[in-house]
Amino acid sequence: MAIDPSKFHLVNVADTCSVWNVLSSARLHAAAKEAQCEFCITRFVRYECLTKPRKREPTSAETELMRRLSQEQGRGGFAAHSCDIGDLQAIKILESRKRLGKGELSSIAFAMKIGHAVITDDMKARKLAEESGHSLTQTTPHLFSWLIFKGRLGDSDKGIVIEQHKEMNRPLAPHFETAYEKALQCRLNAAS
């Protein structure tokens, strides 16, 4: 899916991976908040992020991300919402359960229900959202490129965001590089 750095829907239902990816960089998250971006999650996602038993002890990065989410929720961010079975059935999600987790499924369903964007960095989840008729599907690299395009993040912030993201053992650094280039190209096209 090609991203348009000049456009980004401000209200987003985040799945588990995108919660971690947005919170992985304090600079990215702060710029998103300054730009009036809002993120909410489903109760399934909150469970996956904070409560679900893990097979192994969380790493220091995972513990830090959990702390950041709890802190942000204490400030009113990443509010958790219910998603009922009717919401899930509305997009034929139950038949697709083998391919996606409950967090991704509930995020897509809730985003469709409330008519806002789903932010997911999972390709299968993006594909399912689009196949279900939900065109408001975004990614964390898309958010990054839009913040660069809008001047909410400067060129000097690129390295900071990527380094902070890597420090939290998150996998999107190459995608941030590509998103940065797209933002610069889009800015150049807009100027001509």
Question: What CATH code is carried by the domain that includes residue 66?
Answer: 3.40.50.1010
Question: What tens digit of pLDDT does each residue of 46-94 get?
Answer: 999 999 998 999 999 999 999 999 999 999 999 999 877 676 666 565 5
In a domain, 123, yes or no: yes
pLDDT in the model for residue 1: 58
Residue 16 lies in domain: 11-140
H helices, E strands: number in the chain: 10, 5
Question: What tens digit of pLDDT does each residue of 4-21 get?
Answer: 999 999 999 999 999 999
In a domain, 136, yes or no: yes
Residue 168: name the closest of 42, 39, 41, 17 by CA: 17
DSSP 60: H
In a domain, 128, yes or no: yes
pLDDT at position 96 over 70: no
In a domain, 159, yes or no: no
In a domain, 3, yes or no: no
Residue 56 to residues 23, 53, 59, 65, Cα–Cα distance (Å): 22, 9, 9, 16
What's the number of domains the chain is made of?
1
Q: Could you give phi then psi for residue 103, rounded to 5 degrees?
A: -60, -50
In a domain, 73, yes or no: yes
In a domain, 108, yes or no: yes
| pLDDT, averaged across the chain | 92
Q: How far apart are CA 63 and CA 5, in angstroms?
A: 32
In a domain, 75, yes or no: yes
Element of type H or E holding 85 = helix 85-89
